[in-house]
Amino acid sequence: MDFRSLGLCEELLDGLDAMNIKKPTPIQEQAIPAALDQRDLIACAQTGTGKTAAFLLPLIDTIVSYRPKVDGSIRGLIVVPTRELALQIDQQLQAIAYYTPITSIPLYGGSDGANFDQQKQALVGGVEVVVATPGKLLSHLNLGYVPLKGLEFLILDEADRMMDMGFVDDINRIITFLPKERQTLMFSATMPPGIRDLSRNILQDPVEITISLSKPAEGVDQQAYVIFDMQKAQILEHVLRTSEATSIVIFAGRKVEVRNLNRHLQKQGFNARAMHSDLEQSEREEVMLAFRNRKLRILVATDVVSRGIDIDDIDMVINYDVPRDPEDYVHRVGRTARAQRKGQAITFVNEKEMREFGRIEALIGYEVRKMPLPEQFGRGPAYDPKSRVAGGGKGNGHRRSGGGRRKPGGGGRR
């Protein structure tokens, strides 16, 4: 199957051809025809499956092919959990819709008064597609000037992450501003009961699509170091100094750990910057631009990057800690080896995280290769994924090693 067989307009086909996108992914093959048939849709698909184009293509096609019902009204509203994802989707929309007259604007928090006024002018002046985070969108909706009478599409992307971040009340509030006669598409990486409840409230007779959680790509060389917590910093430095990778993302679970780890790496002479939600938007954009352009070798980040940023050529992912949710491991590791490339993913597993890493191995269906520690670092704990805590050197009879040096960010886990 190709995109032409899906019945998309020529302007869209020209845009896809210019981007060298030839064949639809499974989620696109199933979602686009349903959306073009004006059906509501609930789709379970993770990042990296092509879900963004799965909702952008029918949205753009509808706007280009049919005259607006109400002049000046927003026709498509896309609600997302983070500013990074809002920017990413708006950029992808502009690329795909390059040969069309579609207009769009991203709305996200952190803007100053001047930016807010610019956003207001764009909304009042007439923009066809809005990509927004819930809080910023509500700030405009509550002031009463957002033109929504002709809204045709509501799209909720990463609905599970919005629920995790506490946006469900905001979403329900947003719904009260929208016309009841609309088409609603919901995309979520997972389908917990709360998402099912939300879908029953806002979707009408939806088509249901499930693209199963994919395992890490075959091109990912997955490795794990089973270590004591105090060994992390030294082994991380060893990995970074001995690797030829030029584009590396290091994931940590907490913002404070990201900040401390980034500060430590910079003191050790590494070309590293931090990415977390406390940064100003201009700083975040500056960091991401440097990383995309390979002027920055190491990005130290929270999980906002694992789902919210689309970069195809990352050489290495390092999990400085084991993610709480096994599916977050798949999202993190999925940042590398994209588009048939090769990549490497290394996870540090301390004595308190073995059980969680065992759950990850159960999810992906195989054991991740455990790497021997370089001799100068001594030995780590014995790996026992069934043990709740394997600390204090129990299990292999070796005392802790690593020169007494503690990891950046303190000794606690999260």
Instruction: Decide: 300 and 266 in contact? Cβ < 8 Å.
Output: no
Residue 194 lies in a domain: yes
Q: Could you give the number of structural domains in the chain?
A: 2
Give the pLDDT score at 190: 77
Phi/psi for 82 (5° steps) reads -130, 155
Residue with tokens 């004595």: 351
Give the pLDDT score at 213: 61
User: How far apart are the C-alpha atoms of 363 and 361, rounded to whole Å?
Assistant: 5
Give the pLDDT score at 242: 95
Among 189, 210, 231, residue at a domain's last position: 210
Residue 411 lies in a domain: no
Domain co-membership, 149 together with 230: no
Residues 131, 135, 137, 140, CA torsion sign: negative
User: Alpha helices of 243-322 — where are they, by DSSP H?
Assistant: 255-267, 281-292, 304-308
Two tokens, residue 209: 């699509």
Among 210, 243, 268, residue at a domain's last position: 210
Domain co-membership, 201 together with 234: no
Domain co-membership, 37 together with 182: yes
Residue spans of the chain under pLDDT 50 = 390-414
Q: Which residues of 179-211 are buried (b: 16+ CB within 10 A; e: fewer)?
A: eeebbbbbbbbbbeeebeebbeebbeebbebeb
Domain co-membership, 195 together with 262: no
What one-letter code names the amino acid at 168?
Answer: V
User: How far apart are the C-alpha atoms of 412 and 414, rounded to whole Å?
Assistant: 6
Domain co-membership, 196 together with 236: no
Give the pLDDT score at 72: 87
Q: Which residues of 73-110 are buried (b: 16+ CB within 10 A; e: fewer)?
A: bbbbbbbbbbbbbbbbbbebbeebbebbebbbbbbbbe
Residues 49, 205, 200, 142, CA torsion sign: positive
Domain containing 49 equals 3-210
* Residue 382, strand partner residues: none
Residue 393: enclosing H or E segment and its boundaries?
none
Domain co-membership, 143 together with 168: yes
pLDDT in tens, 393-407: 333 333 333 343 444
